[in-house]
Chains A and B, each alone.
Chain A
Amino acid sequence: MDFQLDDDQQALKAGMRRLLEGRFSLRDATDRIDRALWRELGDAGFFSLALPEAEGGVGLGLPEAVLVFEEAGRVLLPGPAVATFLAAGDVPGAATGEAVVTAVDGALVPWLEEADVVQGDTSGAVPLRSVDPLTPLHRVPDAGGLDRGALLYAAEQLGSAAHTCETAVQYARQREQFGRPIGAFQAVKHLCAQMLVRAELARGAVYAAAVTGDRLEVSAAKLLADDAAVRNARDCLQVHGGMGFTWESEVHLHLKRAWVRAELGRSARAAEEELAEALTEAP
């Protein structure tokens, strides 16, 4: 058992981070999809990573998919990346990033108008004034939806949770009040420590679920990663004080996206009921 990332996985993660950080800026992001970036991601194998090599893919597995989605979550990449990834191999152009694919997920469809292909029944879809300025949303009446993407959303939540933890720590080191960095105050320190603990617990759950592919582990991972992303964003906002409440800082975008993702893939309510039911089975 060596649960740590191997050298290839570390290189993959680092490469994806470099690509995203070099190419994407949250500051300039809008609710339109950056088609050129989408294609660059396609060229880098982002969407085709799990396809067999015979089908033009990279032939990697769920653990690698989770690592690249974690990076997408860190930078808060906009767009229906999860649905496009899942459609690679079925929808022409998805694997290469030429086609933008979205899907009905539970009662929501993100990016309905921007997407080239929409999977699922969207009849009666009504636009919402989305709380997340970077994720347009439609609501659909009584749609069942597919929740195949739960683990990938969880990976994005993990990336966001780790990022807001680092941002809070950075700010706490440099912002001074009462003549010292605020990070020297225990009340701030303890907020940061709990952020790390949440992110690390979610990491254990998300990575393990990627290795086993077990449905219940995916539910556990989604639940803990949702919690980590939402609560870390809130704590990060708190550490930033008044600055955190403005549009200037990017913290609010992480919180809003975390709320949206928490409803996508598998909601907390569904995951909890499923995990509870499993407990009553004979040991």
Chain B
Amino acid sequence: MDLTYTDEEEAFRAGLRDWLSLVLPELPAKPSPQDWPGRRAYDTAWQRLLYDAGYGEVHWDASPTQRLIFLEETEKAGAPYVGANFVGLLHAGPTIASEGTPEQRDRWLPPVLRGDEVWCQGFSEPDAGSDLASLRTRAWRDGDHYVVSGSKIWTSHAEVADWCELLVRTTPVSESVPKHRGITWLAMPMDAPGITVRPLRTLAGSTEFAEMFLDDVRVPVANRVGEENDGWRVTMVTLSYERGTAFVGEVVACRRVLGELAREARDNGRWDDPALRRRLGRLNAEFSALWRLTQWNVSEAQRTGGVPGVGGSVFKLRYSHARQELYDAAAEVLGTGALDLAHEWTLDRLSSLSYTIAAGTSQIQQNIVAERILGLPKGR
């Protein structure tokens, strides 16, 4: 049990801090959450800065501990979040790095690292959310192309993406082909003819995700990652990254917000309410422990060779709930101010509602914990 960092790690931290203190004051103002083209430009410019400074590959090549330090320090310093680069950097990229051919790695990885290309994730469908393997978007072979038809939904930042990590069905479900077989993982260029993207408004008012209609879209067979019909296994690699260290920076951010909340309450007089104080005190314990749990999971990943384990589900269950409680407490501190969309916390409260749904709902995470960690029998 050791919570100290090595000299090498501390040097990495110090170098990063120095660099952040130089570049952050020079950054332009963040575009509004509604302006996705603006956000794409902003997020990719930030990725380019990181790349030029040698931090481009931190999500892939660095050790889990270095990645932890990177996310901690960038969040503490108020640096931009991965944003539009999320899918490319945090799951499509790592998936291609581990499952792609050398040509595929050369084609797709450098542009992600340089911030030249943005990816989105086309997994969910209107009738296949939690039950992802029941997806129905079809792909037929036509010479050296797949011809894809179907629809996808909840595709985050599809409007501004260049590539889509797409799951398609290449063999229909039958008695001999269960639904987990027959799925294939493709990299689809978003400018291919036949793709229609229809933005969906979230309850927070932004258009961060979209519906995608695919009508005979031709995708080269060379864009297939993994074997035909082996996409489910590749998908598991993708999901383990998605649920891995993706929330590290956010825990740091929540701890900062909690402090701001307490100081706001002291200024506006609500601090005199012991019930509110105790609620904030408990949240302090919660986020402090979530940070320690993060370090626990990271040091475990470090020992087992870097791939995030199912511990991510334990963390996500508790974190997604705590984040919602944090912003409910913020509403209590703000009083009627909580009804004012001009307040950042009001928007954050709205978007916190997605945390128990996106990347696997809390119910699905509980099934994973119960079946994969505790070994309880599978239900139907």
Contacts and interface: CB of A to CB of B under 8 A. Distances in A.
Interface in B271-304: 271, 274, 277-278, 280-282, 284-286, 288-290, 292-293, 295-296, 298-300, 302-303
Interface in A227-256: none
A172 B281 CA distance: 35
15 contacts: A1-B298, A3-B1, A183-B370, A193-B317, A193-B367, A197-B369, A201-B289, A204-B295, A211-B2, A217-B288, A220-B289, A223-B285, A224-B285, A224-B289, A280-B262
B3 A201 contact: no
Contacts of A277: 277, 281
A204 B287 CA distance: 11
B246 to A, nearest CB: 18
Given A201-B289, A275-B285, A5 B1 contact: yes
Interface string B1-34: 1111110010000000000000000000000000
B interface majority secondary structure: helix
A274 to B, nearest CB: 7
Contacts of B202: none
Contact of A207 (B1, B303, B314, B370): B1
Nearest to A210: B1
Contacts of A123: none
The 5 A-B pairs at the shortest CB distance, nearest first, are namely A272-B281, A276-B281, A279-B262, A220-B285, A204-B292
| Central interface residue in A189, A210, A273, by most chain B CB within 10 Å | A189
Interface string B337-380: 00000000000000000000000000101110111011111111
A261 B277 CA distance: 23
A202 interface: yes
Contacts of B201: none
B7 to A, nearest CB: 12
Contacts of B377: 173, 180-181, 183-184
Nearest to A166: B374
A197 B318 contact: yes
A184 B377 CA distance: 5
Contact of A190 (B6, B278, B366, B375): B366
Given A1-B9, A3-B296, A201-B318, A272 B277 contact: yes
A interface majority secondary structure: helix
B266 A280 contact: yes
Given A201-B293, A220-B289, 19 more contacts: A1-B298, A2-B2, A3-B1, A3-B296, A4-B299, A183-B377, A190-B367, A190-B370, A201-B289, A205-B288, A205-B292, A211-B1, A211-B3, A220-B288, A272-B285, A273-B278, A275-B280, A276-B278, A279-B280
B65 interface: yes
Interface residues of B, number: 57
B256 interface: yes
B1 A184 contact: no
B139 interface: no
Contacts of B9: 1
B374 A276 contact: no
Nearest to A188: B376
Interface string B204-230: 000000000000000000000000000
A219 interface: yes
A28 interface: no
B295 A208 contact: yes
A192 B374 contact: yes
B314 to A, nearest CB: 5
Contacts of B1: 2-6, 9, 63, 207, 210-211
A30 interface: no
A200 interface: yes
Interface string A1-22: 1111110010000000000000
Contact of B293 (A6, A63, A204, A211): A204
A278 interface: yes
Contact of B256 (A192, A202, A278, A283): A283
B41 to A, nearest CB: 31
Contact of A202 (B6, B281, B289, B375): B289
B284 A220 contact: yes
| Central interface residue in A216, A224, A275, by most chain B CB within 10 Å | A275
Interface of A: 1-6, 9, 63, 169, 172-173, 180-181, 183-186, 188-190, 192-194, 196-197, 200-205, 207-208, 210-212, 216-217, 219-221, 223-224, 269, 271-280, 283
Contacts of B261: 279
Contacts of A5: 1
Contacts of A211: 1-3
Contact of A193 (B277, B282, B311, B369): B369
B258 interface: yes
B318 to A, nearest CB: 5
A3 B299 contact: yes
A193 B289 contact: no
Given A4-B300, A207-B292, A275-B284, A194 B3 contact: no
A186 B374 contact: no
B263 interface: yes
B366 A193 contact: yes
A172 B302 CA distance: 33
B259 interface: yes
Contacts of A274: 281
Nearest to A172: B376
Interface in B293-337: 293, 295-296, 298-300, 302-303, 311, 314, 317-318
Interface in B133-157: none
A275 B259 CA distance: 11
